[in-house]
Amino acid sequence: MSDVKKNKPQTVKGRLVLKTFARTTKSESLGVYLETADGSFLIRPAGGNPFADNPLAELAGKYIEATGRKSDYVFFARSWREIPAPDA
């Protein structure tokens, strides 16, 4: 896949859940995951400190629409908004 296509911003919809990340390692922590029809992946604000508290954790259990870029198993959200459950 070319770099242009890989770095193209995309919009995803799903439900935020809190799950253990990096289980059984020294990096084990509670991560914020976005569960979508295409799978589950970590989500955090683009440009944010990965070691700081994730502001999306406050929305756990809610549905959001987020725009950003996916890199491996992390979605870096530039913007997000809460949406009603049926629209997700």
- The pTM (predicted TM-score) of the whole model is 0.82
d(CA 55, CA 82) in angstroms, rounded, equals 13
Range of the domain at 12: 3-82
User: What size, in residues, is the chain?
Assistant: 88
| CATH number of domain containing 20 | 2.40.50.430
User: Quick one: pLDDT at residue 1?
Assistant: 45
Instruction: Compute the C-alpha angle 66/71/75, nearest 5°.
Output: 25
Q: Answer yes or no: is 88 within a domain.
A: no
Total structural domains in the chain?
1
pLDDT in tens, 25-74: 877 778 899 999 888 999 999 998 888 889 999 999 999 999 999 988 89
Residue closest to 10 by CA, chosen among 63, 81, 67, 64: 67
Rounded distance, CA 84 to CA 63, Å?
A: 7
Q: Is residue 33 domain-resident?
A: yes
